[in-house]
């Protein structure tokens, strides 16, 4: 899988991509992202680095953006736009207003390549990993759009039991309080 990242360069938007990310360590990916970003900003990115992408990630939050309707960078199969984290008021389960960090993530996928159920599965796995990360940092819950992880897992049951059981296991180990 070759993951592209949108880079604001002197020449305009460029989308270099990290090749074969599944074969790289996290440190190797970070090094390659740094190299490609610097090369794109300096206008010296190789043409080979701009071709062969599978999916692109656009961090519109870095420029202050909060929401986007991303358009797929053909011939890629999908794009993800990550917005700026904002502190906004939200109601908790008891109806009290709480200060919450809200980050919008929007996706677009080419359904000739991507099954909607598989896209939902990927979202649920990412959410389970976010919950696990927050749990490691001492936070007790992750709520997205008013749904707890348990609510998202319930929605995921339409994908099938083979998908939900592994996620329930991951969520249970990440959130023993059921949040």
- Which residues participate in catalysis according to the annotation? 111, 115
Question: What does the alpha-carbon distance between residue 143 and residue 30 come to, in Å, rounded to a whole number?
Answer: 28
What are phi and psi for residue 37, nearest 5 degrees?
Answer: -65, -45
Here the tokens at position 163 are: 């998908």
User: Helices 116-136 and 161-174, interaxial angle, to 10°?
Assistant: 10
The runs of H, that is alpha helices, within the chain are 26-41, 116-136, 149-156, 161-174
């Amino acid at each position: 899988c070759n993951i592209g990242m949108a880079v604001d360069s002197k020449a305009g938007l460029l989308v270099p991509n990290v090749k074969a990310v599944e074969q790289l360590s996290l440190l190797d990916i970070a090094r390659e992202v740094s190299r490609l970003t610097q090369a794109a900003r300096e206008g010296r990115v190789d043409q080979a680095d701009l071709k062969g992408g599978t999916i692109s990630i656009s961090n519109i939050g870095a420029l202050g953006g909060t929401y986007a309707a991303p358009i797929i960078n053909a011939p890629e199969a999908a794009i993800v736009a990550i917005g700026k984290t904002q502190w906004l008021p939200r109601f908790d389960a008891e109806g009290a207003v709480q200060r919450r960090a809200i980050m919008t993530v929007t996706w677009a996928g080419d359904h000739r390549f991507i099954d909607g159920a598989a896209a939902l599965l990927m979202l649920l796995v990412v959410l389970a990993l976010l919950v696990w990360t927050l749990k490691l940092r001492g936070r007790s819950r992750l709520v997205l759009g008013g749904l707890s992880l348990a609510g998202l897992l319930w929605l995921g049951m339409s994908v099938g039991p083979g998908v939900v059981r592994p996620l329930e296991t991951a969520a249970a180990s990440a959130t023993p309080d059921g949040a």
